[in-house]
Amino acid sequence: MNAMTQTQYQNAVKQLQKHSYHYYVLDDPITTDEEYDILYHKVVAYEHEHPTQIIPDSPTQRVGDVPQDKFDKAQHLSRMWSLEDLFNRDELETWVNRITKSYGTVRFYCEPKFDGASLNLIYDNGALVQAITRGDGALGEDVTQNAKTIQSIPLTIEYQGRIEIRGEVVIFKEDFEKINEERLKNGESQFANPRNAAAGSLRQLDTRITASRRLVFMPYGIGSNTLELKNLSERMEWVYALGFRNPHMTHLCETSEQIETFYHEMRVERDNFAMLLDGMVIKVDSVAVQDELGYTVKNPRWAAAYKFPAIEKLTVLREVIMQVGRSGVVTPVAIVEPVDIEGVTVERSTLHNFDEIERKDIRLGDKVIILRSGDVIPKIVKVIAAERNGSERVIKRPRDCPVCGSELLDEGALIKCQNLDCEARIVNSIIYFASKACLNIDGLGDKIVEALHKAGRVKELSDLFDLTMEQLLSLEGFKEKKSRNLLDAITAAKGCDCWRFINALGIEHIGEVASKSLCGAFGTAFDTASREEILALEGFGSEMVESVLEFVRVNGEKIERLRSILTPVAPLKIEAAENPFKGKSVVITGTMSVPRDRIKAMLEELGAKIVSSVSKKTDFVVYGEDAGSKYDKAVELGVALLTESEFKNLSSLADGAPSAQGESVKAKNTLFD
């Protein structure tokens, strides 16, 4: 890489800060992840060479790599208060009247109440000096290192005075679901709700964990300060202009009617917010009036939280039913006394697995708290063990399959039915076989597959291809047109891409990407590949390899039959033309704008050999977002580094390119900086 000058480095840092601001604060990116990443890596490389010149608020400085052993206690400069709760229109009116009685018409600043963990940021001389959790309001915990990993918290601001900026640290609903999925996979306990996930993530001793949780800071107020702006609304505008996120849905109201109307608008919008809201906060706008109203022991008299209907409700667990998936995994599902949560009747909730039931000690008949919010799948958050009367029953791990009765394999978190002929497994396999990412057979959804199976027409996958018009017409709800369409869609699946055929088999641990790799490497005859050959594929660990081999061993005949019916088509393998990558050893690292396997397939088509670790023998490292140690190793060894787009540009030289030798020697020295 060409060395940057110090000025170029300083400009690159400014550029990265600008990009982050647009991405994390304005939600309006002005560059691609790839471009950001290229610049970020250049900055990392410069800082590696010139550690004394590192700018303290460089984006690379957000994440430390040495875990702390505890958090120190820290004092807030001014107290952090809680809010009085209002639950209905009457309470709102009483609260508003108490203020207007003494002050006449006042303006109220209304804004969302974010459901997360509160955090106090102290800035001095333009820099973030301390971040403290709420604690008891006077004394909290110093989580400065963790706060620095939150991209929507500016490390520096354009204000020199000492000031406290307060806000709520939240987790977006979609990130919450992702974190819980990941935790489930790793056998860890689930976070009950996004609030707990945010609070737990903020208090991690290892900042790298906090950084990975994608926390977001939503500012809602100012603590100790020497500002002269007279109204809260102006002060908040000033805060947003410093580089903090703007919640957007804020409004000035003068009467309780106006507040009520805005409250209902916000409730309607509630599900459209990326994070959970649990109410609307109403604050007197004039700082002078706030000061006069003052505080009770706990709360300011000038602010209140007008709560939204709860998304967590108390109910009773009545029953646990078992669902058997296509891979035989048995998933417990809770049936609860129906409860209305924001207009939706909730009566079932996933329990994930039996380890989770045991960890939470959930029993039949228990009073439980269930959570449902727009995009969050209903889940049992908590058991009220204190309210048990002795009639509750422990939920036993099943020993036999609830569908076919055969003995289950209990692997701890996973319990599986191993009977390949289990009806539930067959029906779900057929549904999966026909789904979008597999053979994409239109019209073959859950209900129809169940009906076909029940009528004894489809007992295994290959039976689908023997279906006749008469058979379909004899089923309830099947008329001429529907039957014809279905038969046509089934026929159209013949001659499918080979990867679809592999994916449709439903081999455990083998999804779309892995199916494409298998198809790219071995074509339709993937079942003849050896353990070593499969293990050599990028991204294939031993669990995946064993899964393929075991599947092939048990289902050899079925694969053969389906292959002869479907006649899947493999991409043609052509001898690569001369190009800079032919015969070269290439490492791919980091996240690309397309699945990494696509880059791999392109390289393989060019005749490159893909290897997994960087050594002196490596000719190129193609890197994407979040590239880590492999990138560093390449810098250290002087291996030619290519971004995804540099790779694509170079690969287009494939036709009639100059000699591979000449091109790559040049590449190693100069071409790609």
Catalytic center residues: 113
Interatomic CA distance for residues 251 and 280, integer angstroms = 11
Candidate residues 21, 23, 81, 238; the one interacting with ligand IVH per rule CB under 6 A? 81
Instruction: Give the residue from 381, 385, 331 showing the smallest Cα distance to 361.
Output: 385
C-alpha distances (whole Å) from 652 to each of 258, 467, 606, 607 are 62, 47, 10, 14
Q: Is the dihedral of CA 20, 174, 216, 252 positive or negative?
A: positive
Beta carbon nearer to ligand IVH, 109 or 501: 109
Q: Does 448 bind ligand IVH (CB under 6 A)?
A: no
Q: Count the residues of the shown chain that bind ligand IVH, applying the rule CB under 6 A.
A: 15
What DSSP line would sit under 80-116, residue for residue? PP--EEE-SHHHHHHHHHHHHHHHSS--EEEEEEE-S
Least Å from the CB of residue 146 to ligand IVH: 17
What is the smallest separation between the CB atom of 126 and ligand IVH, expressed in angstroms?
25
Placement of tokens 């003052």 in the chain: 294
Segment near ligand IVH (CB under 6 A); pick from 75-83, 370-378, 389-397, 600-608 = 75-83
Enter the DSSP assignment of 422.
-
Stretch that binds ligand IVH, among 112-120, 251-259, 267-275, 501-509 (CB under 6 A): 112-120
Residues 496, 498, 500, CA angle at the centre, nearest 5°?
A: 70
Distance of alpha carbon 560 from alpha carbon 571, whole angstroms: 19
For residue 155, report the phi and psi dihedrals to the nearest 5 degrees.
Answer: -80, -25
Contact pattern for ligand IVH over residues 556 through 595, marking x by CB under 6 A: ----------------------------------------
Burial 286-306 (b: 16+ CB within 10 A, else e): bbebbeebeeeeeebbbbbbb
Closest CB 297 distance from ligand IVH, rounded Å: 14
**Out of 9, 108, 114, 433, which residue is the one contacting ligand IVH (CB under 6 A)?**
114
Q: Where are the alpha helices (DSSP H) in 404-445?
A: 423-434
Sign, CA dihedral 49-52-54-60, equals: positive
Q: Is 240 in the site for ligand IVH (CB under 6 A)?
A: no
Residues 6+ apart with CB under 8 A from 323: 330, 331, 332, 333, 424
Q: Which is nearer to ligand IVH, 311 or 317 (CB)?
A: 311
507-537 burial, b at 16+ Cβ within 10 Å, e below that, comes to bbebeebbbbbbbbbbbbebbebeeeebebb
User: Which of 82, 88, 97, 125: binder of ligand IVH (CB under 6 A)?
Assistant: 82
Q: Which is nearer to ligand IVH, 198 or 444 (CB)?
A: 198
Tokens 């290519």 belong to which residue?
A: 642
In terms of CB distance, is 83 or 622 closer to ligand IVH? 83
Region from 80-88, 422-430, 447-455, 652-660 binding ligand IVH, contact rule CB under 6 A? 80-88
Footprint (CB under 6 A) of ligand IVH, residues 512-541: none
Tell the smallest beta-carbon distance from residue 215 to ligand IVH (Å).
14
Give min distance, CB of 220 to ligand IVH, in A.
3
Q: What are phi and psi of 670, to 5 degrees?
A: -130, -30
249 or 489: CB nearest ligand IVH? 249
Q: Rounded distance, CA 84 to CA 383, Å?
A: 27
Looking at residue 332, the DSSP 8-state letter turns out to be E
- Between 81 and 465, name the residue whose CB sits nearer to ligand IVH: 81
Decide whether 298 or 531 has the Cβ nearer to ligand IVH: 298
- Least distance (Å) between residue 273 CB and ligand IVH: 12
- Does 118 contact ligand IVH by CB under 6 A? yes
- Give, as ranges, the residues between 599 and 618 that touch ligand IVH (CB under 6 A): none
**Dist CA 433 CA 453 (whole Å):** 14
The rounded distance, in Å, linking the Cα atoms of 503 and 516 is 8
111 lies in the site for ligand IVH, by CB under 6 A: yes
Draw the binding track, 198-237, toward ligand IVH (x: CB under 6 A; -: no contact).
Answer: ----------------------xx----------------
Does 281 bind ligand IVH (CB under 6 A)? Our answer is yes
Nearest C-alpha neighbor of 64 from the set 201, 203, 210: 210
Under the criterion CB under 6 A, does residue 168 sit at the interface with ligand IVH? yes
Binding residue (CB under 6 A) for ligand IVH from 99, 211, 266, 303: 303
Q: Using CA atoms, how far apart are residues 606 and 646, in angstroms rounded to an integer?
A: 15
Contact pick of 128, 305, 502, 606 for ligand IVH (by CB under 6 A): 305
Euclidean distance between CA atoms 262 and 264, whole angstroms? 5
Task: Determine if 284 is a binding residue for ligand IVH (CB under 6 A).
Answer: no
CB nearer to ligand IVH: pick between 305 and 368:
305
DSSP 390: S
Instruction: For the CB of residue 111, give the shortest distance to ligand IVH in the complex, in Å.
Output: 5
Nearer to ligand IVH, 287 or 606 (CB): 287
- Candidate segments 92-100, 299-307, 573-581, 601-609, binder of ligand IVH by CB under 6 A: 299-307
Q: Measured from the CB atom, is 217 or 526 closer to ligand IVH? A: 217
Map residues 120-149 to x or -, x wherever contact with ligand IVH holds by CB under 6 A: --------------x---------------
Check residue 275 for interaction with ligand IVH (CB under 6 A).
no
Please report how close the Cβ of residue 197 comes to ligand IVH at its closest, in angstroms.
15
Nearer to ligand IVH, 186 or 272 (CB): 272
| 113 lies in the binding site for ligand IVH (CB under 6 A) | yes
The b-or-e profile of 265-282 (16+ CB within 10 A means b, else e) is ebbeebeebebbbbbbbb
Q: How far is the CB of 194 from ligand IVH (least distance, A)?
A: 13
- Matching residue, tokens 């102290």: 122
Indicate the residue among 114 and 631 with the shorter CB distance to ligand IVH: 114
Question: Is 497 exposed, middle or buried (CB count within 10 Å of its CB: 0-12, 13-18, 19+)?
Answer: middle
Question: Cβ of residue 247: shortest distance to ligand IVH, in angstroms?
Answer: 8
Q: Which backbone phi and psi does 84 adopt, to 5 degrees?
A: -70, 140
Q: Which residue type, as a one-letter code, is found at position 342?
A: E
Binding to ligand IVH (CB under 6 A): which residues in 402-431?
A: none
Q: What is the gyration radius of the CA atoms in the chain, in angstroms? A: 30
Q: Which two tokens stand for residue 565?
A: 């019916």
CB of 566 to ligand IVH, least distance (A): 56
* Alpha-carbon 534 to chain mean position: 29
Question: What's the closest the beta carbon of residue 620 comes to ligand IVH, in angstroms?
Answer: 50
Reduced 3-state DSSP string for 611-658:
ECCCCCCCCEEEECECCCHHHHHHHHHCCEEEEHHHHHHHHHHHCCCC
Among positions 300, 580, 590, 624, the unique one binding ligand IVH when judged by CB under 6 A: 300
Q: How many residues does the chain have?
A: 673
In the bound complex, what is the minimum distance in angstroms from residue 267's beta carbon to ligand IVH?
15
Binding segment for ligand IVH (CB under 6 A), chosen from 92-100, 107-115, 326-334, 610-618, is: 107-115
165 to 129, 157, 235, 337: CA distances (angstroms) = 12, 11, 11, 44
Give the residue with the Cβ less far from ligand IVH, 286 or 579: 286
Binding site for ligand IVH (CB under 6 A): 81-83, 111, 113-114, 118, 134, 168, 220-221, 281, 300, 303, 305
